Structure 1
Amino acid sequence: MTEGTIKTSKYEIIAIFREELRKRTEIEIFFNNTSIITQLTRVDFAEFHIQTHRKIPSGHKNSLSPA
């Protein structure tokens, strides 16, 4: 994706993530006033996984919530 989009539907978000995973695209994720540029490694209905070399503190698991 070349531009930012705002999606609120869980199904739209999952579809976008699956397409980006299929294309092996780098994505930028904004979280807690910081951003990470990475690739998705797995997407399923409840969560997604990313590649990162940064330490993520335990207890910081985010999943997609139903819209």
Structure 2
Amino acid sequence: MAYAAATTNATNTITAAAADSNATVAIKVGNVDVVSGAAATWAEGENTVTITVTNGSETKTYTVTVTKS
């Protein structure tokens, strides 16, 4: 699944949570790991955020293109 969002320097916190408490969530901005609820460093223009949710043997990956203006 792919999504898009926009940001500025004032909005740099990424939060992702799974609906199932047994699942784990991994967040990357480009190739940099980011902890859910922590600040991300945005480059000018488009940034690719990958959110991977794993629950047992199932894994789903979501991609968000965040554009910093």
Shared topology, TM-score over 0.5?
no
Q: TM-score, normalised by structure 1?
A: 0.29
Structure ranking higher in strand proportion: 2
Q: Looking at both structures, which has the greater relative contact order when contacts are Cα pairs under 8 Å and sequence separation is at least 6?
A: 2
Q: TM-score, normalised by structure 2?
A: 0.29
Structure ranking higher in helix proportion: 1
